[in-house]
Amino acid sequence: MDLNLEHADKQSSRESEQHDPITQKIINLAQLKPKGISDKDISIEMPDLQPIQKAQAINKLLAQGFFDLFKQGETLLYKLKDPSKARTAKGADNEEKIVYTIIEDAGNKGIWIRDIRFKSNLMPTQLNKILKSLETKKFIKAVKSVAASKKKVYMLYNLEPDRSVTGGAWYQDQDFEAEFVDVLNQQCYRFLEQKRDSTKDYLNGPIAEKNATFASSKEVWKFISDLGISKVKLSIEDLEMILNTLIYDGKVEKMISSDGSNFYRAIRPLLDSSGLVKSPCGICPVRKNCCDFGDVTPIKCQYITEWLDL
Amino acid sequence: MSLIFEKLCKNLLLEHFGLIIQTVASDMFQHGPRTLNQMKVTTKHPISKIKESLCVLIKFGYVVYEQTDRGIVYTLDVEKVITILRYPRYMYFVKTFCGDEAEMMLEDVLKNGYERASQIIVKTYQRLEQFPPERRSTVPVLKEKFDLLVKNQFLMRSLCSNTLSDVPTDKPDFNMPSLNVKALTRLIQGNEVDAGDNNIYWKINNDRFTQDLRDQILVKSIAKRIDDNAGELMRQLLYLMYLRTASWADTSIPIPVTEIKEAMKKNFPSILPYLDQYLRIIEEDSSKFIERVGDSGGGQYSVNMKEAFHQLTWVVLENIVMERFGLKAARIFRLVHRHKYIEQEKIQQIAMIPAKEAKHLTYTLLEENYLQIQELKKPGLSTAPTKIFFLFHIDLNQVARMTIEHCYHALYNIIQRRDYEINSNKRMIDKQLRMQTLTSNMKEHGATEEQLAEIAEMMTPSEKLQLEKVQERIKKLGANEFSIDETLFILQMYIRYHR
Amino acid sequence: MASRGRGKGKPLISLGGDQGNFGKTEVAPPILQPPPSYLPLEYKPLPTTISNELRYLLQLKKDFAEYMHESPNNVLPIVIKKDIERYSDRYQDLLSMKQQYESRYDWTRMPIELKRKPKKRKGFKQKELVKKKIRDIDIESKLQELEKKETIHHSDAEEDEKDDDELDEKDVEDKIDNEEEEVDEEMDEGTDYVNNYFDNGENYEDDEENLDDGAIF
């Protein structure tokens, strides 16, 4: 990638020194008409110019930053840029390089525009222009990140965005696949639960029995893969994320074996459901308003009535 | 002490002791310790009634008194009032532990506040006389059962003197007087005799029952988590703890495995080959009820009550969150618990919940005070603005206390509603009672089938149906009170160990 | 446990702006009435199964509460029946009213001040009484007072209680101005009279069960 840019760079610098007759002529014409020249003007001036040559020349001048493009009604006008500005444009190439390097360093995780700004110390408008330019040239691309829905990260054009950006297996077009995750959660639990319940290894003592209820993440992964419920290929790490949620559901516990791999097993809760939530007052959403007066009282309570009538 | 707690206690007093006593107690609720004269002024009851009420309250242990320079000052023991809810549990416990006769004796004490052993035995004997002969017990047997109650410390001596306040002394007294069995028999026959315990009174040992209920929870939990064998082992460990440690210590004095082995040999020999294994399993479990604290004597284990109720409280609260707000909310709650302090973004990532839903649930938990929020300002780079992090965390003490209030509120509501259901159907309930009494009287006097059928017809089928429904409702409400108390108990234990 | 769906309820209050970027401000649709007091329940209470143990506990609870409520521990207000015409009933009331809570307590373990008439009560266990107070008011006027009293309608209990109030205080404290002085003495006399007239028998002071009838209606 680097090489291309340098090559492009060299080319433009070479041409700016040489100004071939065609471009020189066009420049001269533009100088005479500071308000801008049109295609037609160029054709009148240089009747022998082939359209292709004309186009190439104009493009070159535009790319090199000599011309600005304007539209007047239906006509396109090319205006000569201020030479001082032309110089800045050249400087801008260096800045493009800086930006490019910053983005390159971010690798496949990409980098927020804000961070590019801090690192490069460029003004926002300028930076935006550079980014647009690099994008047009297909050196970089913007990728929507799942971490923050409205923000984009920039990365080099050819890179495969990292999972943290795309969301990996759990995202389809930036949408979190909640149902898919829930199904996996249930299936993993079912597997572990069955493993626990089918183990009756009393003969070797309770510890052996307990150990038999553990399953490695690989085992779980194999089970899920065999189920074939996932269109996307899931990795073991993916499954471990799901198993983690089961831990936070209070249904599963984890053990790390001596070789560093993870084992999981289904566990029984310490307590039966709390007595409080067997009561309508336990789950009442309007309890803050409940007292002996007014609409919400234990005597008038609709929830209690419904519950009593069950 | 909160308003709802006060209302709840007042409700209990009303139900069991009536309006006047409730008002007298109210006065002490509102104003703290009072003298007789002060109460006369504020309650506007005739002084005779106030005096009578205080007598009752003192006898039942809900009020203590003390001589001061202002006169005698009476104080309400509010924690005691609320134990009324647990009396049926106490009775049932004694029934399963010591038998029916013991249960009756305990009931007698509960119904009288305190009572002499001789009286208790006599009354129980008389009560049993109403039963068919195979269920009656002799006086010596009853005396034995009484001894058992005292040996197990379910009953304790009610110590009091005229001038000192009736505050339980540091050392509870369980000294049995020597009762004259012969005298007891004569008492039963209606003679006034001195059985040898004229001024010796017995009352309920609340503390003992609280400990037993506490231990029951631990045993049940381990049995559920691991298996029944482990539960049994836990029970034995708790007994060994009780033998060597103060009742409410945070952890037990270490128990050597050799002693555990001895105990199991006696009580549960089949577990012996796996004893070490079970000990290890219980110890390794995330519940942390016991820990291995030494290696001498084959290993030393300590029961960690404080930690046990810490863990159990988390389970209770997580369960409540789940039933109130859903599975995903509970997941978030456990997540925040595990991570102590965590940001919103991380929550939704680890919990694997869509951002919008995660935010909504987190906010709900915050609003309902199950989660708390902490701001953290991180000075960024000079060019970067100061970033403010919002971290979620859980203040367990706060949430536990809030939930205790929640329990009080629920209890109050359910009791109110139950009273309402009874009162609004009083006519029908009373009618049925009259019918029942009439029927049994008639039966005794040899009524004909016709006559009995006539009585039955006093109530129409639809009335009967309605009555049944009402009774189901009342039952359901009553059962609910016990359920709520289960949760309340665990949380109270937590606060006790983690004040 | 049935699987629970995702939380679908909406927060009731809109968020303040200071909580950063969570939640959304809910724009309430324009409603013409106040919000309902009872929202539809999203999560229902867990089912309760009444086990045998629970059934038994319920029975214990019910029996205990009922017993306590009917027992003499339930301190009842004083009510005087207005339509009683007979003397004996009047004195029967007085008798049962006097059937005293004092007798139920061991006064070695209660503050003495909680007794109503300590001087009198000490002797009460033996049914022969009580030193008579000043009794030289003739019976005739007493009876008239009594009849007058009986025609006074049963006002709210408080007033009657007030009467009793003053009645009791008289003995314990120094003489306070009270209009019912005569009634007091009358009642003393009544007690005297009653105790001589009605033979209580040996077993009067036996167990508390007897006093179940002590409740005054």
Domain span holding position A294: 275-308
Instruction: Judge whether C58 lies within some domain.
Output: no
**CATH architecture classification, B83-204:** Orthogonal Bundle (1.10)
Q: CATH second-level architecture of B209-303? A: Orthogonal Bundle (1.10)
Q: Which pLDDT does position C18 carry in this prediction?
A: 41
Q: Across all residues in chain B, what is the average pLDDT?
A: 89
pLDDT tier, B433 (very low <50, low <70, confident <90, very high otherwise): confident
Interface of B with A in 320-359 (CB under 8 A): 320, 323-324, 327, 330-332, 334-335, 338, 345, 350-355, 357
Same domain, A72 and A97: no
Residue A187 shares a structural domain with residue A129: no
Instruction: Point out the least confidently predicted range of A74-83, B356-365, B484-493, C138-147.
Output: C138-147
Domain locations in chain B as residue ranges: 3-75, 83-204, 209-303, 308-394, 399-439+459-497
Torsion, Cα B302 B306 B310 B316, to 10 degrees, reads 100
Confidence (pLDDT) at C144: 64
Mean pLDDT of B309-331: 96
Residues of A in contact with B352 (CB under 8 A): 170, 178, 181, 185, 241-242, 245
Quick check: B278 pLDDT over 90? yes
Structural domain of C142:
87-214
Does B3 score more than 70 pLDDT?
A: yes
Is residue C21 one of the residues assigned to a domain? Answer: no
pLDDT at B382: 63
Residue C41: list chain A partners with CB under 8 A.
283, 285, 303, 306
First-to-last alpha carbon distance for chain B, in angstroms, is 15
Q: How confident is the model at residue A147 (pLDDT cuts 50, 70, 90)?
A: low
Cβ separation B320–A170 shorter than 8 A: no
Between C91 and B84, whose confidence is greater?
A: B84
**Non-local CB neighbours of B446 within 8 Å, separated by 6+ positions:** none
Mean of pLDDT values over C169-189: 37
Residues of B in contact with C7 (CB under 8 A): 325-326, 328-329, 357, 360-361, 364
Residue that the structure tokens 């919000």 belong to: C35
- pLDDT confidence of residue C171: 41
Mean pLDDT of the region B449-458? 80
What is the domain count for chain A? 4
B vs C: CB pairs below 8 A: 172
Do the domain assignments include residue C76? no
Closest CA to A284 of A262, A267, A307, A266: A307
* Cα-based distances in Å from A89 to A25, A129, B18, B426, C129: 21, 11, 95, 96, 124
C15 in a structural domain: no
* The pLDDT value given to residue A61: 78
- Among the ranges given (B3-7, B182-186, B443-447, C105-109), the one the predictor scored with the smallest mean pLDDT: B182-186
Same domain membership, residue A258 and residue A180 = yes
Tokens matching residue C102: 């004092």
Phi, psi of A69, rounded to the nearest 5 degrees: -100, 130
Mean pLDDT (chain A) is 82
Examine residue C71 and state whether it is found in any structural domain, yes or no. Answer: no
The CATH code of the domain at B308-394 is 1.10.10.10
A217, A262: one domain: yes
Q: What is the pLDDT of residue B86?
A: 96
- Cα separation values, B249 from A144, B242, B246, B303, B306, Å: 58, 10, 5, 10, 8
Q: Which residues of B touch A245 (CB under 8 A)?
A: 331, 350-352
Tell which wins on pLDDT, A257 or B490: B490
Task: Name the domain boundary from A59, A81, A103.
Answer: A81
Instruction: State the DSSP H helix or E strand holding residue B307, giving kind and residue range, or none if neither.
Output: helix B305-325
Q: Which of C1, C41, C46 is facing A303, going by the closest CB pair? A: C41
Question: For residue B208, is pLDDT > 90?
Answer: yes
Per the model's pLDDT, the better-predicted residue between B468 and A63 turns out to be B468
CATH 3.40.50.2000 fits B3-75, yes or no: no
Q: What is the mean pLDDT of residues C137-151?
A: 58
Q: Where are the beta strands (DSSP E) in B230-289?
A: 255-256
Q: How confident is the model at residue C14 (pLDDT cuts 50, 70, 90)?
A: very low
Note whether A186 and A260 are same-domain residues.
yes
Q: What is the CATH number of the domain that holds A119?
A: 1.10.10.10
Give mean pLDDT, residues A43-58: 83
Contact A285 C41 (CB under 8 A): yes
Site from C114, C117, C210 to mutate, B interface, most B CB atoms within 10 angstroms? C114
Are residue A157 and residue A124 in the same domain, yes or no? yes
A286 neighbourhood in chain C, CB within 8 Å? 37-39
Chains in contact with chain C (at least 3 beta-carbon pairs closer than 8 A): A, B
Q: Does the pLDDT of residue B415 top 60, yes or no?
A: yes
Task: Give the one of B55, B190, B482 whose C-beta lies nearest to C54's C-beta.
Answer: B482
Distance from CA of C43 to the nearest CA of A (A): 7
Q: Do the domains B3-75 and B209-303 sit in the same CATH topology, yes or no?
A: yes
How far away is chain A from the Cα of B140, in angstroms, using its nearest Cα? 42
- State ipTM: 0.87
Q: Quick one: A214 and A235 in the same domain?
A: yes
Q: Which residue has the higher pLDDT, B248 or C199?
A: B248
**Per-residue pLDDT, A264:** 94
pLDDT digits (tens, 9 = 90+) for C105-129: 888 888 888 887 644 444 444 444 3
Decide if C183 is inside a domain. yes
Q: Which of A56, A81, A106 is the last residue of a domain?
A: A81
Q: Between residues C174 and A120, which one has the greater pLDDT?
A: A120
Residue C36 resides in a domain: no
> What is the model's pLDDT at position C191?
47
- In the structure encoding, which two tokens stand for residue A104, read together? 């390159």
Residue of C73, C97, C126 best to disrupt the B interface, most CBs of B under 10 A: C73
Neighbours of chain B (3+ CB pairs under 8 A): A, C
Is C158 within a domain? yes
pLDDT-based confidence at residue A168 (cuts at 50, 70, 90)? confident
B97 touches B116 (CB < 8 A): no
Q: Is the pLDDT of residue B174 over 70?
A: yes
Report the pLDDT value the prediction gives residue C179, as an integer from 0 to 100: 30
Domain finish residue from A19, A46, A81 = A81
- Checking if the pLDDT of B195 tops 80, the result is no
Render pLDDT for C42-83 as a digit per residue (tens, 0 to 9).
Answer: 888 898 888 999 999 999 999 999 999 988 888 888 776 666
In eight-state DSSP terms, residue C173 is S
Q: In the prediction, which pLDDT does C166 show?
A: 45
Average pLDDT value for chain C: 58
- Whether B445 shows a pLDDT value over 90: the answer reads no
Q: pLDDT class for C143, splitting at 50, 70, 90?
A: low
Give the contacts of C103 (CB within 8 A, at least 6 positions apart).
C124, C125, C205
- C22–chain A Cβ distance below 8 A for any pair: no
Same domain, residue pair A75 and A9 = yes
pLDDT bin (cut points 50, 70, 90) of residue A301 is: very high
